[in-house]
Amino acid sequence: MATSCMIPNSLDPAKQLVHSQILHSSNSAQVLLIPVNRVLTLQGLRPMPMYKIPSLSNPVRCMMPPNSLRDTSAPFVVELFCGSARVTACLKAFGVCQAFGVDHVNRATTAPVRILDLSKQKDQRTLMRWLQSPLCAGIFAAPPCGTCSKARNIPLVQGVRKGNFCKLPRPLRSDQFPEGLPGLTTLERIKVSQANKLFDFLATVILNCLEREQIVAVENPRGSFFWKTRFWKTVSQHFRYQAHQACGYGSSRPKWTVIAYNHSAFAKISRTCPGESRAHVHEPWGLVQHGPAQGNFATALETAYPPALALHIAIAFVEAMKHRGWSPGYTPYEPHQLIENSVLLRSITGHQPRASKAPALVPEFASCLMVRSRHPIPAPCPIMTKLTKPWAVPPFAQCALPEVPIHSKLLRATPIRLIGGGWG
């Protein structure tokens, strides 16, 4: 049963945010204000870490009913096996500022990733202690499906990879042997065993999250043998399932994917292919024959979520968290902005957009002006557009000038936390 309580002023999310808006002008004085918890770098402004991740020597004890988010000032979501971490980036853009990804390597360009090898017990214990925090709202997991893919069963003509003949992958699992076929080579057994370790640990994580009534969503291809392993069968009865096609969310191939979830907000992720046409053309499967990805398998190119799909997964999490009493506060970004602008996603999460390795010799803007407030400030114009008339700074906000000149461009509007995430 969910519980409700009054939130003290010290824990009120609205009292812990400084809503900063950065505008530039070509005809105003040189002004640069650095917001709280941010540092100036050679290439721009980078957020400082907002809280400490608990260590093995500092376990976190649950101090609140797990099914209520009303008395948590900054809940977080963990994206397991995050890869590109696009879901994490979208969660941050929608106000879940403490969200982060976990993977054994950092391949993300849009959001921060904690490096953990979840096949090792030490790193497993670390993750479990993070998930025991009263601030943890839930997890999104996309376990590796390379050894589980039924695409290995599709016969292909021997192809050429980067000028050399490539060895086509063999099936490693089947409906009869979902945990691994007999007669595998030593290397194949190692690959399957490592994946099974991750599946086994994921089942343990899921049971722990369900016991704490946290939000859980798990993604894998519709035909993946992962869904048939004994590891998933131990938790499968706790979930509902929804399938979608990647091309319905902007991908170039009609890949079918299933999301298992324990909150109805994820049932909306159900788009399918609208049908091939001049405006919607599918690229072929198999070996890529042309372009920079020539010689790679098409399935490897479909591992990263299309921006629109990552966005809708994040929206589902936010809706589920709102249903449990959480309020995101001020979120200045619209969904279409995040889909169309990957640079914006990287800047929101503190990652510098890829550009020259050296800073520009001539600054892009003549001057920058920072507007800070403890209360939400309606954006005077859309992000990355210019003011059509002078904008009077609200009286409750802090700014070096009482009025922002006409033609100034709104660079970003960012909620910045003043108080840590609850671990001190």
CA 397, 401, 406: angle at the middle one, nearest 5? 105
Question: Domain extents for the chain?
Answer: 67-353
Strand ranges of the sheet holding 368-371, from the earlier edge strand across to the other edge: 368-371, 17-24, 409-417
Q: Read off the pTM.
A: 0.63
pLDDT at 357 over 90: no
Question: Higher pLDDT residue, 333 or 328?
Answer: 328
Helix (H, G, I), strand (E, B) or coil at 39: strand
Dmax (CA) for the chain in angstroms is 75
Nearest to 196 by CA among 252, 146, 158, 141: 146
Nearest to 166 by CA among 285, 284, 287: 287
Split at pLDDT 50, 70, 90, the class of 301 is low
The residues with which 241 forms a beta bridge, in sequence order, are 260
Q: Whose structure tokens read 């909306």?
A: 268
Measured between alpha carbons, how far is 148 from 164 in angstroms, rounded to an integer?
26
pLDDT tens by residue, 64-116: 334 556 545 589 999 999 988 989 988 988 888 889 999 998 876 678 899 99
CATH topology of domain 67-353: Rossmann fold (3.40.50)
pLDDT at 352 over 60: no
Measured between alpha carbons, how far is 299 from 173 in angstroms, rounded to an integer?
17
Residue partners of 70: CB distance under 8 A and separation at least 6: 4, 5, 7, 324, 325, 326
Split at pLDDT 50, 70, 90, the class of 118 is very high
DSSP secondary structure of 346-387: HHHTTPPPS--SSPPSS-SSS-EEEEB-SS----SS-TT-B-
Provide the phi-psi class of 220: left if phi over 0, else alpha when psi is between -120 and 50, else beta.
beta
CB neighbours of residue 128 within 10 Å: 14
pLDDT tens by residue, 142-197: 999 889 887 666 555 545 444 444 556 788 999 999 999 999 999 999 999 999 99
Q: Lowest mean pLDDT: which of 57-66, 319-328, 331-340, 381-390?
A: 57-66
Split at pLDDT 50, 70, 90, the class of 49 is very low
Q: Torsion over CA of 67, 130, 265 and 142, rounded to 10 degrees?
A: -150
CB neighbours of residue 105 within 10 Å: 9
pLDDT at 160: 47
